Amino acid sequence: MAGAFEPKAFPSPPPLRCRGRTLDFERVRIMGTLNLTPDSFSDGGLLLEPAAALEAAARMAEEGADILDLGGESTRPGSDPVSVEEELRRVLPVLERLDPEAGPLLSVDTRRPEVARAALERGVHIVNDVTGLRDPAMREVVANFGAAAIIMHMQGEPKTMQLSPHYEDVVGDIRRFFEERLELAARDGVREVMLDPGVGFGKTFDHNLELLRRLAEFLPLGRPLVVGVSRKSFIGAATGVERPAERLEGTIVCNAAAVWGGAHVLRVHDVREAVRTARMARALALGMEA
Ligand code: HH2
């Protein structure tokens, strides 16, 4: 049986090139989450004031974030959608004060083409779409700006996605989904794409664990793999830790497992810890020093 830390046989995907910036995957990249919402599941309300959000952004950059992901809508299980106007009101004041030319790449976490467009006009490099570029208007906006996108998998909608998730084979089904969406993206001119299996989005406890165990099966698609486990409820279920902000140890273990499975980007709330986790996990797998 292969060891848990077995180096993966797949070469790194080519660097992501978007809007004049480049991100290679010679090491694991860290995406810091900035939730500019009142109701995100682990940190809602903490960053509502732009000054607080900017302070958090500066701290994450200092701690080693390669990407900052700004979101103005919670998509936690059971959440209701917010209006485009509200999402813009939350995201733009922060975005306007971040420099797209230097420091971490900027990503906007939105499923709305109108929000993506406004963010791209202010220099964002990546559109992180939890609906996986389902909307043709979203594909058009991303293509027109020469931006990159994250195609994330979600079964259903946030409001109801955890009621009865079902798959024939969670990895095979998501792999087919990726293939279909990659084809649509390429047809519509979106070339720089990262893939994310969407841990916690229409998945049971067992589905989430299986995705982490079998992550390497997505590597043959040849795209950077993004994994977001940070503080999620399956970690609470496994560790018995009720409060999301206290799920750090479980998050660290899952991030290490994601690295051993070949993840290229970890989406996290705790940047410093994720940077160190990724370095240690990679050293165990490949014997590489940071
Ligand atoms: N998870 C969340 C939101 N966006 N995007 C990607 N690509 N991958 C993820 O796993 C992912 C995501 C949920 O986490 P969070 O943003 O902290 O919570 P909320 O949706 O409540 O704001």
Burial level of 173, CB count in 10 A (0-12/13-18/19+)? middle
Q: Which residues line ligand 1 (CB under 6 A)?
A: 33, 35, 37, 40-42, 71, 74-76, 109, 128, 130, 150, 152, 196, 198-199, 226, 228, 267
Confidence band (pLDDT; 50, 70, 90) for 132?
A: very high
* pLDDT > 70 fraction of the chain, expressed in percent and rounded: 97
CA 1 – ligand 1 centroid, Å = 34
Among protein residues, the one whose CA lies closest to atom 21 of ligand 1: 40
Threshold 0.75, pTM exceeds: yes
Q: What angle do CA 277, 214, 273 make, to 5 degrees?
A: 10
Ligand 1, atom nearest to 150 Cα:
7
8 is catalytic: no
Residues 145-167 have a mean pLDDT of 93
Residues 249-276 have a mean pLDDT of 97
Q: Which of 175, 181, 231, 232 is catalytic?
A: 232
Confidence band (pLDDT; 50, 70, 90) for 161?
A: confident
Model confidence over 65-120: pLDDT tens digits? 999 999 999 999 999 899 999 999 999 999 999 999 999 999 999 999 999 999 99
Q: With residue 267 as reference, give the H or E element that holds it.
A: strand 265-268
* Residue 102: CB atoms within 10 Å: 8
Residues 215-232 have a mean pLDDT of 97
Which pLDDT belongs to residue 1? 43
